[in-house]
Structure 1
Amino acid sequence: MQESWVDFAERLGADLHLELAGTGGRRAALMRALREAIESGRLAPGTRLPPYRSLAADLSVARNTVADAYAELVAEGRLTARQGSGTRVAERVAPLPSRTRTPAPAPPRRPVHDLVQGRPDPSAFPRSAWLASARRALAAAPHDAFGPGDPQGRPELRQALAGYLARVRGVRTSPERIVVCSGTAHALRLLSAVLGGPWAVEAYGLPFHRGLLADAGVRTVPLDVDGEGADTSGLGGERAALLTPAHQFPTGGPLLPERRTAAVAWAGATDGVVVEDDYDGEFRYDRRPVGAVQGLAPEHVVYTGSVSKSLSPGLRIGWMALPARLVPAVVAAKGEREPYAGAVEQLTLADFLACGAYDRHVRRMRQRHRRRRDLLVSLLAERAPQVRVSGIAAGLHAVLDLPEGGERSVVKAAAWQGLAVEGLSDYRHPRWRGPVREGLVVGYATPPEHLYAGALDLLCRALPPAE
């Protein structure tokens, strides 16, 4: 049976709508139609074009006409042709401006490199070790693990966390005083419902955390921040104080021992609560780990942590080590049918902690992050010696101090080069009226290994030249 024209076209390739019009013959008309489709953006970069035979059949033109048109557009840079990949629209082909309008300013390039803090490289997730723990956890899981669940969290995970946090962070707690949640943001939502407000917060901190407290009707009062952490002498009549004592976020300094003591004394004297966000306490490089404030006063400090920086934010697992008096209220606020932190993931993490895989992974990542940090520091010393780098004794980010008025221009220059990076002022409390700093918050854990050097090169290009 003879093959129909429709069957022939379907077998050969995808449809492409082109109107061949104008003078100069079929080849010139095809060239104009293809250029217009590419330059207008109708054919996006990377779009695969039909093979010669398919398009020639659709348009009722000779195969050589299509082949010649493709070849000329490849020579112009509008198309690319690779063996096994076909003919495609070239990347970053910009649309031509309208002839009847004033051209609009071209937008910054879409970020190709990412130095935004708080995003560990997802390719570093320990898949094999996690899978081994998941298999063991599922094999050993009791039947009740697949029921509605305890809003406080699986007892296996709370037991493993109590031992791990005591050993590694100096936290004084028990499984009965740990509540599993989906991360620090979830913990803050629960605590804001239980404690009420106002809260003292650091003058530089995560806007997202301030925002969720505001959404809960909690007013926040900024505390001054310097190289020794938050100035806790400014604590007064607040209900709670949200602090990052091990590694102030984002400026980087550890909380001075005297200020730790002052925070704990304030909580004891006012029946207040210190909420300790230990977001990256495992990652210290140049000094011994700074222990948790919670160890000084377990009945006045809520210790929060998660696996978002150490493993993956996608796991949605965090925890609170609570004063005994707050456990019932927090569990009640969490609810019987809360939709977070599934039982299988909790059981897997419990095994991951108990078998030592978590410790091994953290040590590997600590070495990797330190190498990345050292490369950042050495490259800046070579290419931008005028820029001071701070906050590098721990964590997954560094702060690059910039002169007054320089931050916005550097962030914009980086964006034009396809580099995503944030300014320090993005983290400043909107009601802070004290001393201010300008700079960049550079997350060095984020890019994949093969893109890291390129990201640092773009960063150095965006920085102001030495005077």
Structure 2
Amino acid sequence: MTDLAAFPRRAWLRAYGAAVHDLPDRALGYEEPLGLRELREELCVYLARARGVRCDPEQIVICGGLLAGLAIVRRALADTGVRCLHRARVSHRALGELSRGTVSGPATGWLDVDGAGLVVDALPRRSRQAVLVEPAGSYPLGARLSAARLTTLTEWARRQDAVLVESDLNAELDHDGVGLPALQGSLPERTVLIGSTSRALAPGLRVGWIVAPPGLVGALTAARRATEPGQPVLEQLALARFLAAGDLDRHLRRLRSTYRTRARTFANLLEDAVEGGRLDVPACGFHLVMGLPPGAADESSVVAAAAAAGHRVRLVGLAGHVLHGPPLPPALVLGYGALPEAAMARAVQALTGAMAARGRRPDDEPAGSAATPPRG
């Protein structure tokens, strides 16, 4: 969870008030098929400046966030003849249902992830394929797509006439503010970019966007009508004013600085308290992955022990993000977005208490694989 306490209430109130004051009566009727044009125009300017995206307002479809956007894209891909959407087998668990046939779309192909990002060498040489990729950092393992893999992926897409579906989940939250530009900027004719305000501002806003090649916009619009009839107009106009005033840029600068400091502090506390635990700290976002030390019990036991202790610390095991294929070495996904620095020591104490309560195997024999980096 992002830091909800950091939500820029005053700036948003100004933008929302201006939206209510200036909104023409006709805009309170049924929404435009692609979403409010003023927001789409402002997104073109912002995404070009901040992410290197190349598009015009007619290529943007407003949606309810990342999950809603991906559901719309999956349906549109199926409607245009795409047979398989390949994606990382270790990914955000909330996206799992979108890969299990509960949402209309193409079949799912599974790819591994390692220290250089999505493993794309195994992509099939067949037509009517698509790939879901997170170049800025594959969640939760955090690896950026290497330059060599990016080249391989774009060459494959051109050769196979394939579609690349780019998730911009954490790209704006690069701790140094110099993250990779969007893949869409280098291959706009074959890339569908999905973005959202959920991590930069708050998931409760329910505003996201899809940037697509012109040839896919019609299918996306039809899929949006079928799955998500529309988005609240006032929130769209408020976001447009928020962008135009530069308030998102200012908010993101503060947030990056906050997360950079919290990541360093949290990692240092964990390294001091958990002997033998392996830490992976992604360069963007607001979480880290801690491999359980040798001799630790399986991660589900540690998660259960923390829940049973009644602490206000909710642990999430890495296994919940393994959507397909063999398990990974036991590890925990630890978020610090909503964790103030003053509370970090107590959180680490609760974690080590849970590990002490249920964190040893009955025979106390080391589990050698637990110390290996949690890559999938």
Q: Write the distance in 2 (CA, Å) between the matches of 1:420 and 1:454.
A: 13
Which residue of the partner structure matches residue 58 of structure 2?
176
Larger-gyration structure (1/2): 1
Of 50, 67, 76, which residue of structure 2 is paired with 1:185? 67
Compared CA separation, residues 199 and 135, structure 1 to 2 (3 A): same
Show the counterpart of 2:119: 231
Rounded Cα–Cα distance in structure 2 between residues aligned with 1:385 and 1:436: 20
Cα pair 2:276 2:293 within 8 Å, conserved: no
Higher relative contact order (CA 8 A, sep 6+): 2
Distance change (3 Å), C-alpha of 1:152 and 1:369: same
CA distance in 2, matches of 1:373, 1:406: 25
> Separation in 2 of the partners of 1:266 and 1:210?
25
Match of 2:369 in 1: none
Confirm whether residue 123 of structure 1 aligns to residue 123 of structure 2: no
Deviation at 1:345, TM superposition (A): 0.3
Residue 336 to residue 159, structure 1, CA distance change in 2 (3 Å): farther
Q: 1:49 aligns to what? A: none
- Per-residue deviation at 1:441? 0.6
- Cα deviation, 1:213-262, whole Å, max 9, x if unaligned, reads 42135432210111111101121146211111101111011011111122
Structure 1 range deviating more: 448-457 or 220-229: 448-457
SS of corresponding position for 1:151: coil
Residue of structure 1 aligned with 2:102, choices 208, 215, 224: 215
CA distance in 2 between counterparts of 1:176 and 1:279 reads: 22
- Amino acid aligned to 2:329: R
What amino acid is the match of 1:204? V
- In the TM superposition, 1:52-91 aligns within 5 A as none
Q: Note the alpha carbon deviations across 1:145-181, whole angstroms, 9 max, x for none.
A: 2121112011111111111111111111111111110
Q: Give the CA deviation at 1:332.
A: 1.7
Where does residue 262 of structure 2 map in the other structure?
372
> C-alpha distance in 1, partners of 2:64/2:44?
17
CA 1:391 to 1:448, structure 2 compared with 1: closer, same or farther past 3 Å?
closer
Within 5 A, what are the aligned runs for 1:313-392? Answer: 313-335=203-225, 338-392=228-282
| 1:198-347 pair list within 5 angstroms | 198-213=84-99, 214-217=101-104, 218-236=106-124, 237=126, 239-286=129-176, 288-335=178-225, 338-347=228-237
Inter-partner Cα distance in structure 2 for 1:215 and 1:193: 11
Counting aligned pairs with the same residue, the percent is 38
Contact 1:195 1:239 in 2 (8 A): no
Deviates more, 1:263-272 or 1:251-260: 263-272
> Structure 1, residues 77-136: CA drift from partner, whole Å, max 9, x if none?
xxxxxxxxxxxxxxxxxxxxxxxxxxxxxxxxxxxxxxxxxx123222211110001112
Equivalent residue letter for 1:413 = A
Q: Secondary structure at the match of 2:45?
A: helix
Question: Match for 1:423: what amino acid?
Answer: G
Given that 2:63 and 2:228 are in contact with CA atoms closer than 8 Å, whether structure 1 keeps it comes out as no
The AA in structure 1 aligned to 2:352 is C
Q: Distance in 2 between matches of 1:184 and 1:265?
A: 26
Query: 1:188, 1:393 → 2: CA distance?
Result: 24
CA distance in 2 between partners of 1:370 and 1:463 (Å):
27
Query: Is 1:441–2:328 an aligned residue pair?
Result: no
Structure 1 unmatched runs, 5+: 1-118
Q: How many angstroms apart in 1 are the aligned matches of 2:269 and 2:350? A: 12
CA distance in 2, matches of 1:223, 1:338: 29
Q: Note the alpha carbon deviations across 1:19-45, whole angstroms, 9 max, x for none.
A: xxxxxxxxxxxxxxxxxxxxxxxxxxx
3-state secondary structure, aligned to 2:180: coil
Q: 1:457 and 1:232 mapped to 2: Cα distance? A: 40
Q: In 2, distance between residues paired with 1:139 and 1:289?
A: 37
Q: Distance in 1 between matches of 2:74 and 2:226?
A: 19
Q: Kindly provide the amino acid, as one letter, of the partner of residue 10 in structure 2.
A: S
- Give the TM-score, by structure 1 length: 0.70
Partners of 2:84 and 2:28 in 1: CA distance: 39
Moved more, 209-218 or 151-160: 209-218
> Could you tell me the TM-score, scaled by structure 2's length?
0.86
Q: 1:337 to 1:147 in 2, by over 3 A?
A: farther
- Identify if the C-alpha distance between structure 1 residues 230 and 163 changes in structure 2 by more than 3 Å, giving closer, same or farther: same
In 2, the alpha carbon distance for the partners of 1:281 and 1:128 equals: 25
| 1:295 CA displacement | 1.3
Paired with 2:164 and 2:292, the residues of 1 have a C-alpha distance of 32
User: 1:183·1:308 contact (CA, 8 Å) conserved in 2?
Assistant: yes
Q: Could you list the per-position Cα deviations for residues 378-431 of structure 1 after superposition, in whole angstroms to 9, with x for gaps in the alignment?
A: 10122124212113311111111125753223222322332211111111123x
Q: Tell me the distance in 1 between the aligned counterparts of 2:68 and 2:281.
A: 26
